[in-house]
Amino acid sequence: MPRIRRICSVLLAALEISCNASSTGSVAAGPLPKPERDLTVTAKSGEPATAAFAGGCFWCVEAVFEPLDGVLNAVSGYAGGASESANYNAVSAGKTKHAEAVQITYDPAKISYGTLLQVFLSTHDPTTLDRQGTDLGHQYRSAIFYATDEQKEVAQAYIRQLEQAKVFDKPIVTTLERLEKFHAAEDYHQNFVARNPDHPYVRAWVPAKLKKLREQYPQLLKK
């Protein structure tokens, strides 16, 4: 059933949008301002760090972060719910507290946590509650899963900065949730966009996101 719903989502998308990043809500027209505050304590030299975000379908979120210079790995999975319910059928049916999320392993010497936040909030709609485009439900919420108190403080400060600057014409509804545990999704979800470029859902949503990434943040991309 979840796959059927996702196919229906694609058909609805074809009617509602012309391959835009989101069909409702508010998406910043240009690049977001850089965070005024970033992590003051980073990993030791050569030691990777992690961050986790949810912004709708994890295929799309993973595809946005993989091209960034300094991102070592991006894994699709589930966060926010119980271990026993961390499976695609349950999560995509809205029967759990999980969000479809992506855990990013990155080199803080090349890309900062604040920059990851900037890209995250630029490439999805942080003003739509429990929805991204035609994907509906709490499992598709916009969320920042923080692993440390400092990550939480930096994310809170950046959201306040964007709100004060009125970057979006609607309030940001992105939640900040402590990352208790990240559960990697089934193998067939990993690197899904690269392995399935002609999938209808991929063709409907991903090109616009990657185009925006290339146009607004070319300096962040891997050479």
DSSP conformational letter for 198: T
Q: Which residues pair with 78 in a beta bridge?
A: 100, 183
Known catalytic residue at 8? no
Q: Cα–chain-centroid distance for residue 100?
A: 9
Residue 112: what residue type? S
Distant-in-sequence, close-in-space partners of 125: CB < 8 Å, separation ≥ 6: 21, 22, 24, 25, 26, 27, 132, 133, 142
Closest alpha carbon to 22 in 170, 149, 145, 147? 170
Q: Got the DSSP string for 129-193?
A: TTEETTEESGGG-EEEEESSHHHHHHHHHHHHHHHHHT-SSS----EEEE-S-EEEPPGGGTTHH
Q: Are 28 and 34 in contact (CB under 8 A)?
A: no
Q: Are 60 and 124 in contact (CB under 8 A)?
A: yes
Q: Among the options 8, 19, 57, 60, which is catalytic?
A: 57
Distant-in-sequence, close-in-space partners of 71: CB < 8 Å, separation ≥ 6: 65, 104, 105, 106, 111
Catalytic residues: 57
